[in-house]
Amino acid sequence: MYKLYTDKQELFECDIQLEGASLTDSKARLVIETEDLALLFKGNIDSKGKCQIPVKRLKGLLGENVKGTIKLEVIAEDTYFTPWESDFEVEASKKVQVEVKSQTKEVIKESNAPIYLIKSAIPPKTTEYLKLKYNKRIVVSPEYIGEGKYFVPYWKGIPHPTDMRMHDFQIFGGDREDTQIMVDLFIKILGPYCRFFQTDSRTAELVKYMENSYLAMKVVFHHEYSRIVKLFDRDYREVRELFLADRRTDRGSSATFDDNNLGFGGKCLPKDISAIYQAAKENGFDSKLFKQIMETNEDLKKSNG
């Protein structure tokens, strides 16, 4: 598999020998083809058959993980040859891997509390790992503090973006004797009308990633469809309200606001959908849907003025 890169210019080189044709005035070009795009890069062949073709950075032309066919085409004395062809994949030459020294891990390691509550979104199996490593009692509970700046009808069960006391449900994942302690603690604060769900830690970790991945998908769907509506010279506001008249749909994430604010951002959605996509990939499943959501989101953000 031939590698192409989004973030650096490279030089394709090879040696060519022709029989029955002269290399004088011969021309070479590299053709890169995907299902949606064909790129052509021209190069030179010297008298000794050394071929060099500059390939510019592909950022903005092809995204990472895109695959296709790359082939060398040679024209000598009005004769066309394709002496080499290969599959290719696009990636970045420079990749940054960041390991965050989690305060959670340090607190659990250094302190000696009888029980710990992780109120956050963390990768599947993290709680199990920490319990085994430090021999501590740990419960994980997804948090629902949001980043949106607009008003939400929290009385309809939508988590209040800043005040956890107005959330009408809590999820606790861990050993049952530990989650029961958390229910007894939180019911004193949130009251008997709040719903308390107890499950294992891995399920609690997975559900938060599921929720944020679903919200990311909704944002991308509505923002992408607003572009389609615009192509047909119609008002997305009107299309949206008619769409929402069907009770099978819901209003959440359906507003686009303006053409310069397309795509999802912030701290949670990009981080969480990327994290669960990578976790699944490391366990043998490459989710085409999640990959497409992230790629479409990048496309939407690039379209912002």
Ranges in the chain annotated CATH 3.40.50.720: 103-199
User: What does pLDDT average to in each consecutive run of 10 residues of the chain (305 residues)?
Assistant: 77 78 77 85 83 82 82 78 83 51 71 90 91 93 79 81 87 96 94 95 95 92 91 93 92 76 83 89 91 90 78
DSSP 150: S
Structure confidence at residue 300 (pLDDT): 87
Ranges in the chain annotated CATH 1.10.1040.10: 208-303
Nearest to 72 by CA among 91, 88, 57, 48: 88
Structure confidence at residue 101 (pLDDT): 45
Structure confidence at residue 98 (pLDDT): 39
Structure confidence at residue 97 (pLDDT): 43
Tokens, residue 286: 């490459």
Structure confidence at residue 102 (pLDDT): 56
Global pTM exceeds 0.75: no
Ranges in the chain annotated CATH 2.60.40.10: 2-91
CATH class, 2-91 region: mainly beta
**Rounded Cα–Cα distance for residues 157 and 168 (Å):** 6
Question: Helices 201-231 and 236-244 meet at what angle, rounded to 10?
Answer: 130
Structure confidence at residue 240 (pLDDT): 92
**Rounded Cα–Cα distance for residues 65 and 58 (Å):** 12
Contacts of 191 (CB under 8 A, 6+ apart): none
Nearest to 118 by CA among 207, 206, 186, 205: 205
Structure confidence at residue 116 (pLDDT): 93
Structure confidence at residue 259 (pLDDT): 66
Alpha helices in the chain, H assignment, sequence order? 103-110, 126-134, 176-190, 201-231, 236-244, 268-282, 288-303
CATH class, 208-303 region: mainly alpha
Fold annotation for 103-199 = Rossmann fold (3.40.50)
Nearest to 171 by CA among 186, 158, 160, 156: 186
At 130, the amino acid letter reads: L
At 104, the amino acid letter reads: T
Structure confidence at residue 100 (pLDDT): 41
